[in-house]
Amino acid sequence: MMSVAEFYGRWPDYYDRIATAPGVGRWRRATAEAVASPGDTVVEMGCGTGANLPYLREQVGPDGRVVGLDITPELLDRARQRAVEYDNVEVLRADATRPPFGDAGTGAGTDIDAIVGTFVCGMFEDPTSVVDDWCDIVGSGGRIALLDATATEEPLGRPLNPLFRIFTAVGAPGTTAWDVARAPFGGVDSALSERVAASRRALADRTVERRYETFALGFVGLLSGRVR
């Protein structure tokens, strides 16, 4: 089976267009504002083409630092292009489920104020453990924000759920033409929703001062909080 890095590395242009589509910037700015403050060190787990990096850098300012991690070289090439104008934004190839902080050569250190995960929790086999690890990394008082998309329960958006499920199936590693054909009725999206829900429960269990907001007729949700 094709690896996640191989799958997403095939179409960097396609994923970059989605990541920067009209209106998406509003979600990304809200995510940055939920966790980042001037002077902070913020890590984005699974930064993709780096669409969040300008917003995070804007929040931390010239005295802060932003580190983006991803496992897909082709997407990281785009992220580096976005970060090239900032001397306090770093992009590294690493696995968000096993972030290499403290290892030689990462430069990230352990003094991390906040972590952001954008549209990645639905890909983790064990999102609960991953989010727990992220909370441990930032420690007490650190901030975490999770931005994810699932089928919506809002009345105006529910008629669009079948289209969302098709989009999810097309963009998921390991899916077949049969998976895409049956996507409007569930399947691939069910696994995504379960993983996103698990990651949100894990974050809720570990944090205070939580805030949850939705965008795009409820398809996109942003949960943030401060670790106890």
Residue % of the chain over a pLDDT of 90: 76
Taking only the tens place, the pLDDT of each residue in 79-97 is 999 999 999 999 999 999 9
Read off φ and ψ for residue 144, nearest 5 degrees: -130, 140
| Dihedral, CA of residue 181, residue 126, residue 97 and residue 172, to nearest 10 | 0
d(CA 51, CA 63): 21
pTM of the model: 0.91
Instruction: Give the helix ranges, DSSP H, for 38-120.
Output: 53-60, 73-83
Burial class (CB in 10 A: 0-12, 13-18, 19+), 76: buried
Closest Cα to residue 31, out of 41, 18, 42?
42
pLDDT exceeds 60 at position 105: no
pLDDT exceeds 50 at position 17: yes
CA–centroid distance for 101 within its chain = 18
The residue ranking higher by pLDDT, 6 or 54, is: 54
For residue 226, CA distances in Å to 120, 125, 165, 200 come to 20, 24, 32, 13
Taking only the tens place, the pLDDT of each residue in 126-145 is 999 999 999 999 999 999 99
- What is the pLDDT confidence band of residue 103, given thresholds at 50, 70 and 90? very low
CA–centroid distance for 51 within its chain = 11
Q: Which residues partner with 118 through β-bridges?
A: 147
- Tell me which residue has tokens 């970059």: 16
| Residue 2: per-residue pLDDT | 58
- What is the pLDDT confidence band of residue 213, given thresholds at 50, 70 and 90? very high
Interacting residues of 84 by C-beta distance below 8 A, sequence separation 6+: none
Of 150-159, 186-195, 213-222, least confident by mean pLDDT is: 186-195
Please name the helix (run of DSSP H) or strand (run of DSSP E) that holds residue 223, with its range, or none: strand 220-227
pLDDT exceeds 80 at position 9: yes
Closest Cα to residue 223, out of 96, 156, 161, 134?
134
Taking only the tens place, the pLDDT of each residue in 184-201 is 887 667 888 999 999 999
- What is the pLDDT confidence band of residue 227, given thresholds at 50, 70 and 90? very high
Taking only the tens place, the pLDDT of each residue in 166-187 is 988 887 787 788 888 888 887 6
Domains of the chain: 4-227 (3.40.50.150)
pLDDT exceeds 70 at position 158: yes
